[in-house]
Every structure is written in C-alpha cells, then in structure tokens.
C-alpha cells in the first residue's frame, strides 16, 4: 500500500497544546503514515509515553542557543529522512490535523514523483469541523520524493521558527523541479497566539540573505525572480536600523529605521508568497 512507504518527520513540542498535537499526529497514524519526531533528550523523556506509534529520534544538536528553545534544524530533519531509505517523505508541523480521507495516501504518492507537494492550512475552531479560512501567509505540510532531497542545501532554518516554510518550496522552483500546491482544505489547524522575538528577525535576515543571490535569475519553467525587488536597499536599511539602535539615537529615529526595514521585509515576503503561487501547479484532492 502507498502509505507503507510514506514517512512524516516532525518535532512534537512538550508543554502546551498536547491534546491538539496528539490529535493531529494520531490523524497521520490513522492514515497509515509512519511518524518520526526529532527532539532533544529532555523532550523525549516527557513525550514518549504520550505518543504511541511515534518513533522519537534523539537530537543532540538544536537551535536552543539561537532561539531559547531546542528547536530542530531543518537540515537535520532532511538528513534523517534521507537515512530512512523510504521513497516518499514528508515534513509536517506537529499541530496540523489531516482529516480522514482514504484517497490521501495514494494521492500523496502519486503527486510526489520527482516533485514537491505542499499546501496551506485551514484555520478551524476545532478539528471536527471543515468550516474555516485557508491561511494565505504560509505552508504547513510538505511531501516529496527521496530523489529530490539533494536540492535542499544546508541551512540555518528550524522547524517551528519563521520563514522555513517559504524557503522550502522556493528551492525546487529555483532548481527547476516540479512544485505542486494543494489548494484543497486537506490540513486543519486551530489558531493560537504567536509572538515575535529576536529570533524572528534572525531568521528573517537568514531568509533575505538566501534570496538576494537569486534576484534577477530565471529558473527553468518559472518566471524571473524578484526583477522588481531592489536588492541593494536591504543592506542599507539593515545597517541603518542597527546603527540607530547601537548609537542610542532618538527614539523616533530608531523607530523610523526599524519601520523602514520592516516595510521592506514585508514587501519581500508578500512577493515571495505570490511568486510561489504563480510558479507552482495547483492541484485538488477530491
């Protein structure tokens, strides 16, 4: 059966929202998917008994120094998937529920041959309802063929932190590999508060540094990337923001510098979301 070969990697988070994560992960298991959760040692001790059927994979390297939490590097997750030897692989956020659909496993297998299949979540008040809006700002599940694992380079992005979900589908588009966006409401998410801290801006900077070398390039089968984006503006805006903070400039000046930088980054992020949408094949799940 198709699902016998599909492995989903994630990183279950101890603490809050355990009932939500447990229901989400169980929905993957109910589809017949194999599930591996990559976690720090202290997290595995807290989680193992709560998630039967999940293989917990010990990770000594985490992003705790940078973020304050033992989040898992995306590169380490990809390494584990490669070592699994399975053909069809996935990365899914641990609070994403996949509602029952007997067609899903074969659909995933059939749409990932030398391709990436990805999509946004549907925001719902509870997992049992199919009424809710699709999130227009990011993506929460990714399935792909092991043959294309090589296209994702080493990176500093971490699961559960910003911008990895935009970077991930950009890589195959830049590499001329098929990217398929599932537009059906196949994944549900219950909203929760989020906070921005210093790590948000760190990953934002990482994201921009990855994008700048791609400006003006035209990948095979895709439109030119960022022809209208002023790449030279970013270093100047970043330097202005850093200098104003370090020099103790008046508050109004510091705020203005940060707002100018934020406006540039917001514009770039909106452009990337649109670029991904325009350069991926739209597919539906019946």
Q: Considering the entire predicted model, what is its pTM? A: 0.94
Beta bridge partners of 283: 182
Query: CB-based burial of residue 251 (10 Å sphere; 0-12 exposed, 13-18 middle, 19+ buried)?
Result: exposed
Give residue 36's Cα distance to chain centre. 16
- Least-confidence region, from 12-16, 116-120, 281-285: 12-16
In the chain, the domains with their CATH numbers are 2-193 (3.90.550.10), 198-278 (no CATH)
| C-alpha to C-alpha distance for 7 and 32, rounded to whole angstroms | 10
| C-alpha to C-alpha distance for 161 and 276, rounded to whole angstroms | 19
Confidence of residue 154 (pLDDT cuts 50, 70, 90): very high
| C-alpha to C-alpha distance for 148 and 194, rounded to whole angstroms | 32
| pLDDT at site 1 | 44
What is the 3 state secondary structure string of 5-70? Answer: HEEEEECCCCCCCHHHHHHHHHHHHHCCCEEEEEECHHHHHHHHHHCCCEEEEECCCCCHHHHCCC
- Are the beta carbons of 121 and 24 closer than 8 angstroms? no
| pLDDT at site 192 | 81
| pLDDT at site 130 | 87
| pLDDT at site 195 | 64
| pLDDT at site 286 | 80
Beta bridge partners of 7: 34, 89
Confidence of residue 16 (pLDDT cuts 50, 70, 90): confident
Q: Angle, nearest 10°, between helix axes 251-278 and 164-175?
A: 40
Q: pLDDT of 78-90, one tens digit each?
A: 999 999 999 999 9
| C-alpha to C-alpha distance for 14 and 16, rounded to whole angstroms | 7
Q: pLDDT of 176-223, one tens digit each?
A: 999 999 999 999 999 987 766 667 778 988 999 999 999 999 999 999
| C-alpha to C-alpha distance for 129 and 17, rounded to whole angstroms | 18
């Amino acid at each position: 059966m198709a699902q016998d070969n599909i492995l989903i990697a994630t990183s279950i988070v101890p603490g809050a929202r355990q009932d939500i994560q447990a229901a989400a992960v169980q929905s993957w298991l109910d589809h017949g998917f194999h599930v591996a959760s990559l976690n720090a040692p202290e997290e595995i001790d807290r989680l193992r008994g709560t998630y039967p059927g999940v293989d917990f994979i010990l990770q000594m390297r985490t992003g705790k120094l940078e973020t304050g939490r033992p989040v898992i590097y995306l590169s380490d997750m990809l390494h584990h998937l490669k070592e699994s030897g399975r053909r069809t692989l996935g990365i899914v956020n641990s609070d994403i529920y996949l509602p029952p659909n007997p067609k899903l496993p074969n659909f995933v297998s059939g749409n990932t041959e030398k391709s990436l299949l990805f999509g946004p979540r549907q925001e719902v008040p509870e997992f049992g309802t199919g009424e809710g809006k699709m999130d227009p700002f990011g993506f929460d599940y990714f399935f792909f063929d092991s043959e294309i694992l090589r296209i994702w380079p080493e990176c500093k992005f971490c699961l559960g932190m910003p911008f990895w979900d935009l970077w991930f589908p950009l890589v195959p588009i830049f590499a001329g590999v098929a990217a398929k966006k599932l537009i059906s409401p196949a994944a549900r998410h219950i909203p929760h508060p989020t906070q921005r801290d210093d790590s948000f801006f760190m990953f934002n900077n990482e994201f921009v540094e990855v994008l700048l070398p791609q400006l003006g390039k035209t990948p095979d089968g895709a439109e030119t990337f960022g022809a209208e984006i002023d790449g030279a503006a970013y270093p100047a805006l970043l330097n202005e923001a850093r200098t104003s903070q370090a020099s103790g400039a008046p508050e109004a000046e510091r705020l203005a510098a940060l707002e100018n930088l934020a406006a540039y980054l917001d514009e770039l992020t909106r452009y990337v979301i649109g670029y991904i949408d325009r350069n991926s094949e739209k597919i539906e799940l019946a």
